[in-house]
Structures are given as structure tokens and as C-alpha cells.
Structure 1
Amino acid sequence: MYDKLGLKSMLTKAKRRVFFYASISFFFIAAVPILLYSLGYGISRDFKILKTGGIFIQASETGADIFIDSRHKRTSFLGKSGLIKNLVPGTYKVSVTKEGFWDWEKQLEVMSETVTARSALLVPKNPDGKILGTTTPPIKKNKPPYASIKKFWAIPKTEDFIILGDDKKFYRNKELFDIYKIFGTTTAEILRSKKESVFDETFSRVIYWDSGVIDTFWFEDAKKMPEWQKNPFLQVGPNNFMGPIRQVFSYPDWPDWLIATMSNGVWALEMDSSGRQNAFPLYQGKQPNIISLEPDEIIVLDDGNYLEITLPK
């Protein structure tokens, strides 16, 4: 009886010892990721220990939901931004959503000790607007300072113009302008040869298009290009738009976006080509054309009616 009790006691002690050491081992195994996380490290899918990064999203709307793979963060009703930290370097699917708005989606790359930042324009599925009627509303239009010119381009946020005269020379207002020296050969030849072209609102890139494609060229200092842009040449949108492109404008206060009229709609088009270019309808009708663009609204002429559409900001 004693031997049986002694053996049983020894087995119980052995089990306790195994359980104790197993618990210690489990604690250290569990503590390592927590310790690494607290120090700004993470374990990648191939089990490498790497310094983490983050993604910062500035949304155009309060109360938006930000999803980064399986992680979720909601912007407050006072703020419009969200930061998700401790992301192992890699590519993440990012979505910004809000009820009643089109989803903004991208694939964003995270690098060690770096925060990848993006601004997300959320466009309502039913934008605010009103019918102005069939009478032409008072509109301020950019007009060249004098007649007998071949082409002209308004310089954003100024009263100045760049002009291509009938003599095939460029002028800034009425003064001869050496555009080849100031902006370079590529920009000058785009302005000279392309039928449709405008400057963006930062006066850093020229946007040009035909009925099927929109292209842009960054002519400013390459060091000032957006972080996401790697090449001065950039094509906007899918290869095949829904119908011919009629007009293209810079989106006010959103330098990475354009507004274009094509087919039966007015569209907001994202230029940021990293991970996906978003495109959202601002208005859909028959064959709309923009006749006025202001910081907060556009006036559209469609099927004989003038409409005022509020721009999401």
C-alpha cells in the first residue's frame, strides 16, 4: 500500500513539474510577441523579425470606417483621420467606407519604421444638387487677354495666361515667354501638339487627353512629386473609359484627383496609381458638360438644363 501511494505521489510530483515547466515555456513563448510588439517589432509570414510601420488615412468625411486587412478603426465625429500602427512590412488591402458613400479602396505598401499616408475622398452615391432651369446662369469664364491667338492656358489661382500665338511663339500674357527654358522641351511640346491640355491647380503638371485616354506630365522639380508617383508621366483611369472623354479639370483642393465628363456622366478620377485608381460618379444624366467649376460646386449643362452639383470635399 505504501509503495503504491509513494509511486502515485512521485507521479503526481512529476506531472506537476512537467506542468510547471510547460507553463513557464508557454509564458515565455507568449511573452516574446508581446515584447516585440511593445518594442515596435513584428513577425512576418516567413517568421522574420522586422521593425513595423503604419498606415495613416485622412478621410474627407467624419465617422468613416477604415479597414486594413482584418483591422478596423473608425474615425471620430470630430476628426476624419485614423492611424493603424505595428504593421509588419508588406502590402495591405485598405478600404474606407461610410454608409451612403462609394467605397475608397487601395493596396498600400508598408515599410519598416515608416507611416504610409493617404487622403481618401469619399463621394456620396447621391450627391447634393439642384436644377437651375434652362436660362444660362451668370458664369465667370477664363478668356484670353486679346484676340488672334492659337491656344491659351489659364495659370491656376492667378489672372495670368500662357498663350501660343499665331506666330507659333509662346507668351505669358503679352510678354514673350521662353517656355522651353522654363518648363522644358517635353512640356512645351505637349502644349504645342496636344489638342486638349490644362495645368493642374498646383501649376506642377500638365494634363492632356484625347477621346480615349488621360495623361499627365509632372514638369516641376521631381523632388516635389507626390510620394506615390515614381515617374513624371502618369496615365489616369482604365484603358477603356465608358465613352469618349470630353472635358478634364483639376479637382479643387484635391491635387491627386481630376474631374472629367465622359459618356453620360461627370466623374471624380483619382491620379494616385499606387494600388488602384478610384473613380466615382458625381453626376449621371445624358451627355453633361461642365460650364463652370468653383471650389465647392460645378454647374453642368445636360439636355438643355443647368444643374448645380455640390462637390464632396
Structure 2
Amino acid sequence: MITIKTRRYIMIFSLAVFVIVATAILFYSQGYSINRNLTLSRHGGLYISTPFSGSEIFINNENEKKTGVLNGGLFKSNLKPGYYAALVAKDGFWPWAKTLEVKEGMVAEARAIMVPENLKGEIIEKGNFSNLWSHNKSETIALKEKNGNFYSLSFYLPDKDIYLTADSNFTKQLLTFKDDITALAWDKNYLIFKSEKGLIKASFNFSSNTASAQYSSESFENYSTVKYERLTDRDREKLWWNPPTNQVFVDWLEENGAPPYYICDENCDSLPLQIFQSKFTIQNIEFFPQRKDVIIIAVGNGVYALEIDGRGGRLIYPIYKGKKPTFGLSNSTNYIYILDDSSLLKMYLK
């Protein structure tokens, strides 16, 4: 027979269990759980985006989603703080994998870079080219070609697959020189460079598909991009390399805004950030088309795509392997234009 005292104990115990369970449910609904140290910690989240539909996203070896045309990412909420292994895979592309830390009350964000395993390409022209330059705001690629004892500068228009023609003999003379180009800077519709003839400004007319050249008294400080520096379209991220040491750096230029996660996840005191160093010579670097968190780098005998995001290690993917390639990009196409062994070729990045 249950006594009144026993019933009282049962009631108190049931009430205590109810309070504990209700409190646990309340904390869980607010995004809290008990961690391994037996203390309360708030849940976080994870967001992974992909550039292509049909990509499969895995978290800790579990297939979470296959992306579609209208939904190219995965968001997982109510995750306990800790490290999570993310993997994005798609047939015909190199896999993207990264270990990301989910912190209390925070969403860890990452954007996968997908590079085709076998990039399709074709030779545009076999010539005696020795260098090329491009700019992310320009449609034009500048090519230096050796003709006998002289060099000449020509301008290729990728979207039309034509060369701009010189508008006069004077322009042809200024675009021909004996020594190497010692300095070069871009703007959208013109280029300024320095040769033994002095400072030359080459302007582009895309309506008539012509180029004109004249002597210039301007300073390189008036231009956003010089030979070893690159800026994003809004001039917020800066990328450059140091030729003597073959080091690559990235920096955040906006004073009133915090750097994005791919540049600075926690400690921003280390900016500018070194993201690459090689014992081989760097020929060129550029931001990957339509990306601010990935660069393209020509170093040694290859061209590669390299992540800026250093969480879990920076991933690097092969694009091209040859002798001593360099490359250029045009804002009007999705091709990369590679110069190697005096020949110009293009490869489709998508």
C-alpha cells in the first residue's frame, strides 16, 4: 500500500523531472545543448554554396543534398559547436573538401570552387609571343610579340576574336620598341606602359575596333592596377605578388567594413595575408572570374586555381601544364587565355 509520504515523494520526483525536461526543451528550442564539458553551449549553423547545379554536398560523410538550378546551397542549423567535414562533388570536376568550425551562435559559411578535371581548350594562334597582360575591367588582352630585332604590342579582343588595328603609322611606331616593357597599368578603355621611348598611352575604340597611341605625361599613381597588383571590381580586395620572393598576398581595403570570412575568419591583425609562396617563378596572378575568394596563378610550368580561404588548408587545382605559361582574362568571356611556348590558346573555365 502506497503511503501518503510515498505519494508525496513520487509527486516531488515527477515535478522535478517535468521541470528538468521542460527546461531542457526550452533551452534546446533556443538553440542550446550540453557540450562535452557538461556546460550549456548555443547551437550554430553551416552554409555551403556551390557554383553548379547537380553538385552533391556531404557533411561528415553523409549525403545531405543535391543542388538544383534555383537552390545552389545547403544550410544546416542546430549544429553543436565543433568541427565538420564538408565535401562537394560533381561528375567531371575536382572535388572540394574542407573542415569547418561551427562556433556557438554562429553560422560558418563557405563557397565551393569547382574546376573541371579536363578543361577544354584550343589554340588561337601560333606566333612569336613573349608576354601578355589583361585587366578585370577591360575586354582587351595585350600581347607582346617579337618581330626581328623589335617587339610590338598588339591588342586582342576575345569576344569578337579579332585584333584591334592601329589607327595610324604613328600609333604603330609607338607600339614598337627594342627593349622590354618596364612598367604597365590598365584602365577600362586604355593602357599605359613604359618602354625606351618613354611613357605611352594606348587607347581602345571598340566601335571601330581600332587602337591609338600617344606619349603620356600621366603618373602610374592615377591607375588602379599596376604590373604586380590586382583589385576586385569594387576595389575592396587587393591581390599582389612580390617577384623577388615569389610570395602572394591579399588585403582588405575597406576601412569601415569587416573583412569577409575567406580573408579573415578571426584574427585580422595579420593583414595583409600571405596566401602562397613558391621556389618557382610566378608569371601572373588574377582573381578567378566572378569570384573574390579564389585566384588563378601561373607559377613554374603550370596554371592553377587557388583558394584564398585558409580554413582547413587552401585547396589548389590544376588548370594547365606546359613549359612556362602565363595567362590573361577578359571580362567579356568565361575563357582563360594562356600564352605558352610562343602560342596563344584559350580554355573554358566552366
Q: Match for residue 231 of structure 2?
A: 200
Percent of paired sites with the same residue: 26
Alignment partner of 1:309 is 2:347: yes
Distance 1:35 1:75, change over 3 A: farther
Q: Which runs of 5+ in 1 are unaligned?
A: 1-9, 11-23
- Deviation, 1:281, is 0.8
What is the aligned partner in structure 2 of residue 298 from structure 1?
336
**Amino acid across the alignment from 2:32:** Y
Determine the C-alpha separation between the residues in 2 that align with 1:271 and 1:65. 23
Distance 1:212 1:279 in 2: 16
Deviations 1:232-264 (A, max 9, x none): 311123x446x3221111212101111111222
Q: Which moved more, 1:80-89 or 1:33-42?
A: 33-42
Structure with higher strand content: 2
The 8 Å contact of residues 200 and 255 in structure 1, kept in 2 or not, is answered as: no
Q: How does 1:1-313 map to 2 (within 5 A)?
A: 36-78=27-69, 79-127=71-119, 129-132=120-123, 134-135=125-126, 140-141=140-141, 151-155=183-187, 158-159=188-189, 196-202=227-233, 203-204=235-236, 205-210=238-243, 212-221=246-255, 223-228=257-262, 229=264, 230=268, 231-237=270-276, 239-240=277-278, 243-294=280-331, 295-312=333-350
Q: Within 2, Cα distance between the matches of 1:218 and 1:45?
A: 37
SS of the residue corresponding to residue 152 of structure 1 reads: strand
| Superposed displacement of residue 45, structure 1 | 2.5
The residue type paired with residue 220 of structure 1 is: E
Q: Is the 8 A contact 2:247 2:274 kept in 1?
A: yes
CA deviation profile, 1:173-208 (whole Å, cap 9, x unmatched): 96867959x99xxx9xxx7xxxx5122223231412
Q: Which has the higher helix share?
A: 1
Give how far 1:134 is off. 4.1
Q: Taking structure 1 as reference, are residues 27 and 54 closer, same or farther at Cα in structure 2, changes over 3 Å only?
A: same
Q: Is the 8 A contact 1:90 1:111 kept in 2?
A: yes
Report if aligned partners of 1:267, 1:279 keep a CA contact under 8 Å in 2: yes
How many pairs are equivalent?
277
Calculate the TM-score normalised by the size of structure 1: 0.69
TM-score, normalised relative to structure 2: 0.63
User: 2: distance between equivalents of 1:213 and 1:55?
Assistant: 32
| Kept after mapping to 2: 8 A contact 1:58/1:81 | yes
